[in-house]
Amino acid sequence: MVETSDIRVVRCGGSKVNLTPPIISSDSRFVLCTSGDLVKVYSTRTEEWLHSLQGHTNQVTGITLNPANHLQVYSCSVDGTVKLWDFIDGILIKTFVIGCPLFAIYVSEKHTGVLFLHVSMATDSKNECFQLVSVHLPKSAEQEVEAKEMSAVSSHISKNPSCTAFGRGGEYIAFARHLQLNVYFFRKQKTYSFSLKATDKKGAKNAFTCIACHPTDDCIATGHEDGKIRLWRNFIHKKEYTYSTQHWHHNAVNTLCFTPEGTHLLSGGIESVLVQWQYGADNRKEFLPRLGGSILHISASSDGQLFCTSHSDNKITVIESSFKVCGVIQGLVKGDAVLTDLMIDPRSKALVLNGKPGHLQFYSLLRDKHLYNLDIVQQEYIYEAGLDQFEVVKAAFDIKGSWLATVEERGKKSSDLEFFLKLWAFDERTQSFVLNTTITAAHTDRIISMCFSSSEETTMLVTAAEDSQFKAWCQGADADTQQDQNFWSCDFVGSYHKLNPTNCSFSADSSLLAVSFQEVITIWSPDTWEMLTTLCQPPGVIRDLCFGRLSCSKYLLGTTTKNLLCCWNLLTCELEWSTSVDVSKLQPDPFSENVAAFSYQSKHTDLFVFKPSEPRPLFTNKNVCSEKVHRAVFVPREEPLNSCDESTQWLNRSQLYFLTQNMDLLTFSTATEEDRMLSSSKQLVIDDSVAVTPFYLLLGKHRQQQQKLNTQSHPVSDKPQQTQGSVTIKELLHTPAHVLPAASVLCSMFVNSFLISNTGVQQDPLR
């Protein structure tokens, strides 16, 4: 067993961007959103990811603009710190250490130097009780400050951050929990609470889901679970409060937002329709339908020109005030479950998995960017809770990437299952997949496994289904018309003793097809459709199947439900070796002989990488993560690493990505890789300083002159250089600070100018 420290598990791109409301900078040029432990800055015009604010060590849970300086942003995180950033240059200004996990952050113009934070009550169980506390920020010049001056505003508040809002310039704060609305007046230091009945007569659910306060008027808008919006007025006098009710949403209102002038109220819910209510004239509303997933958050820019909605399909939509979508920022869509395997598109090398309902998404891992969605179902999506929708459950690419097979399914709950097998051809002209064949009743029961043959010449698809049959599909060749058709038809139907197949796999040269029927693996020849042999190692149903590659192509690997990993030799048809491992995922590397096996034992997942020819693993990583791993994929590298270390050699040509049950996309990175990344980023910084700073031009001119002088007269003494250097220093020190670029940029140049140049000395030995 080899334990190494230079390979570590890293979380790679594709974290959620929809966790918190995105914020728009006051000049409407940037959109900021949280993404894992980063804050990402996007451009509103081009939808491009500009840079990210890196520094938190855990999930960032809230961001808000600093009311005192609109170029700065506060962010809070579960790691217990609040950080203040300059988001245009991406510089960390200050860190406030609070000391307990933070879940949301609120600020108000009226309360300068005070932050309002959600913290979980330490004594209670974690998710149940939350507290709203105010923190006074100490004034100090240090980078890292401890802020301990906390005072509780209210305990027992909702864990939903959108159930808290500041009203009318910060005069009061409103927060709701279950059926109670509380308003805390800062001046009176008093809390008024208003409560609703649990159910109306009509059986409506009255629980609060979100709150928004009018910026200039004494009005609170609340959203409810049954889709109603209530506008509360006159709550300053506790007894005489009134409210009016609006009802358009048919399901819970997820979010509410007033425009900065307070002329309109925006609301969104599961229907994915952005509704704009005119304040005062409540019946007049505008709609923007079919935005994508259900709307989770809405935010408006301070000038009211732009709105941002974040959606459940990990998307941020930028909308103009004229109700026109002008930009979409799409992250990796991670639904409740990844139903398809993780796949790599052989053409674009993008990661492919099911994304939006009924779509396949193509995601570039290299650039951490969503490329495009391929609409598989091609039906109008109805946003309604509890509706049985078509989902893409299986997908497979052929080896060249010119064919894509998908299976969509509906009716998991009810008895009548509907599914379609679709085949898509790659169109060179549009650079996208075009529907070629739809097969309505490919099998009589659910398709369990699907794979393309791996040979370059003939493409063949094999599907195995629960109707105890597997079918081979071929393109064209209909005997009747004697013409080369370009659609697919069934070529062969096979079965084995009426057993249900569990998996199917082609060998590397596609001369053999292995189909596992419960405990038995059958080997078929795809040319003649003859069953060659059967392999069996009871007890336990076969779960995964894969053939060895390259020099190990004579081996067939199989895992069973009874914790057995078996390796058969196909030449002798005998069991070569077997070990007792509970393998949850077996993933062969297409570029080498290596096979990765994830095993789940005693609440943590281990990774073994081995060659089928020998039972000893090449690499072992204990405790990769604490959840089960069901999806993994080897991604080819753009340029191979050339590490000679035995333990990292398996990562030379491809990278292993895997998805945990919590939908975290993780990968392994090696020391050499990180070194390379680090050096490239350093280079970038230097290049940046050359290109960006106008000040550099000034300095650079001097430097060039310096260098010229050096080359011309290197035997001469250093005196003129010193004077040149001092000029630079003078210039630097005498320029007003507000026109200077960031100190980090100037620092290296500044220090350089102090140094005595020794270029001439260096050049001599070279000559």
Partner 1 sequence: MASFKPTKVQFLPKLGEKVTEDTLYWKNYKSPVQIKEFGAVTKIDFSPLAPHNYAVTASTRIHVYGLHSQEPIRSFTRFRDTAYGGSFRGDGKLLVAGSEEGLIRLFDICGRVALRQFTGHSKAVHVTSFLSDGFRVVSGSDDLTCRVWDVPSAVELSSITEHTDYIRALAPSKLNPDLFVTGSYDHTVKVFDMRSGSSVMTMQHGHPVECVLLYPSEALLVSTGGRYVKIWDLLKGGQELVSLKNHHKTVTCACLSSVGNKLLTGSLDRHVKVYNSSYKVVHNFDCDASILSMAVAPDDEVVAVGMTNGVLSVRHRKHKKDKETLTSRRRRGPSYRVFVKGKNFVPRQDDFLVSKPVKQYLRKYDKQLKSFEVSKALDTALQMWTRTSKPEVTVAVIIELNRRGTLKNALAGRNEESLTKILNFLLKHIFDPRFSRPLLTVGDIVLDLYRQVLHQSPVVERQLQRLMEVLGREAELQQELLQVLGILDTLFASLTPRKEVLWEEHCPMSLNNHCVSVSSVSADVCRI
**Would you say 466 or 645 has its CB closer to partner 1?**
466
**Would you say 411 or 700 has its CB closer to partner 1?**
411
**Would you say 59 or 436 has its CB closer to partner 1?**
436
Shortest distance, CB of residue 285 to partner 1, whole angstroms? Answer: 16
DSSP H or E run through 48: none
Angle, CA of 249, 251 and 252, to the nearest 5°: 100
Shortest distance, CB of residue 378 to partner 1, whole angstroms? Answer: 6
Q: Write b or e for each residue in 743-757: b if 16 or more Cβ atoms lie within 10 A of its Cβ, otherwise e.
A: eebbeebeeebeeeb
Shortest distance, CB of residue 213 to partner 1, whole angstroms? Answer: 29
Shortest distance, CB of residue 335 to partner 1, whole angstroms? Answer: 18
What is the 3 state secondary structure string of 673-742? HHHHHHHHHHHHHHHHHHHHCHHHHHHHHHHHHHHHHHHHCCCCCCHHHHHHHHHHHHHHHHCCHHHCCC
Q: Which amino acid is at 434?
A: V
Residue 287 has what DSSP assignment?
E
Shortest distance, CB of residue 362 to partner 1, whole angstroms? Answer: 17
Q: Which amino acid is at 84?
A: L
**Would you say 97 or 435 has its CB closer to partner 1?**
435
Q: Specify whether the backbone of 222 is left (phi greater than 0), alpha (psi in -120 to 50) or beta.
A: beta
100 contacts 77 by C-beta, under 8 angstroms: no
**Would you say 46 or 440 has its CB closer to partner 1?**
440
Shortest distance, CB of residue 241 to partner 1, whole angstroms? Answer: 36
**Would you say 99 or 411 has its CB closer to partner 1?**
411
Q: Which amino acid is at 549?
A: R
**Would you say 341 or 409 has its CB closer to partner 1?**
409
Q: Report the C-alpha gap between 26 and 65 in whole angstroms.
A: 9
**Would you say 104 or 288 has its CB closer to partner 1?**
288
Shortest distance, CB of residue 310 to partner 1, whole angstroms? Answer: 16
**Would you say 216 or 489 has its CB closer to partner 1?**
489
Shortest distance, CB of residue 550 to partner 1, whole angstroms? Answer: 33
Task: Residue count of the chain, please give it.
Answer: 767
Q: Report the C-alpha gap between 508 and 455 in whole angstroms.
A: 8
DSSP H or E run through 570: none
Nearest to 609 by CA among 562, 648, 570: 648
**Would you say 40 or 443 has its CB closer to partner 1?**
443
Shortest distance, CB of residue 355 to partner 1, whole angstroms? Answer: 14
Q: Report the C-alpha gap between 670 and 643 in whole angstroms.
A: 9
**Would you say 282 or 491 has its CB closer to partner 1?**
491
Q: Which amino acid is at 258?
A: F
Q: What share of the chain is helix, strand, coil (3-state, %, to 5)?
A: 10, 45, 45
Return residues touching partner 1 (CB under 8 A).
Answer: 288-292, 325, 378-380, 382, 384, 387-388, 390, 410, 416, 440-441, 443-444, 467, 469, 480-481, 483, 493-495
Shortest distance, CB of residue 317 to partner 1, whole angstroms? Answer: 9
Q: Write b or e for each residue in 665-700: b if 16 or more Cβ atoms lie within 10 A of its Cβ, otherwise e.
A: bbbbbbebbeeeeeeeeeeeeeeebeeebebbeebe
Q: Report the C-alpha gap between 421 and 406 in whole angstroms.
A: 6
Q: Which two tokens stand for residue 250?
A: 């048919």
**Residue position matching structure tokens 């300095």:** 699
Shortest distance, CB of residue 289 to partner 1, whole angstroms? Answer: 7
Shortest distance, CB of residue 380 to partner 1, whole angstroms? Answer: 4
Nearest to 323 by CA among 367, 276, 378, 280: 276
Bridge partner residues of 97 (DSSP): 81, 146
**Would you say 216 or 534 has its CB closer to partner 1?**
534
Shortest distance, CB of residue 610 to partner 1, whole angstroms? Answer: 37
DSSP H or E run through 79: none
**Would you say 28 or 495 has its CB closer to partner 1?**
495
* 539: preceding bond cis by omega (within 30 degrees): yes
209 contacts 223 by C-beta, under 8 angstroms: yes
Question: What SS3 state is found at 745?
Answer: helix
Q: Taking the CA atoms of the chain, what radius of gyration do you get in angstroms?
A: 31
Q: How far is the CA of 252 from the CAs of 209, 225, 380, in angstroms?
A: 7, 4, 22
Shortest distance, CB of residue 535 to partner 1, whole angstroms? Answer: 19
* 765: preceding bond cis by omega (within 30 degrees): no
Bridge partner residues of 425 (DSSP): 403, 434
Shortest distance, CB of residue 48 to partner 1, whole angstroms? Answer: 21
**Would you say 479 or 644 has its CB closer to partner 1?**
479
Q: Report the C-alpha gap between 77 and 387 in whole angstroms.
A: 36
353 contacts 4 by C-beta, under 8 angstroms: no
**Would you say 276 or 621 has its CB closer to partner 1?**
276
225 contacts 252 by C-beta, under 8 angstroms: yes
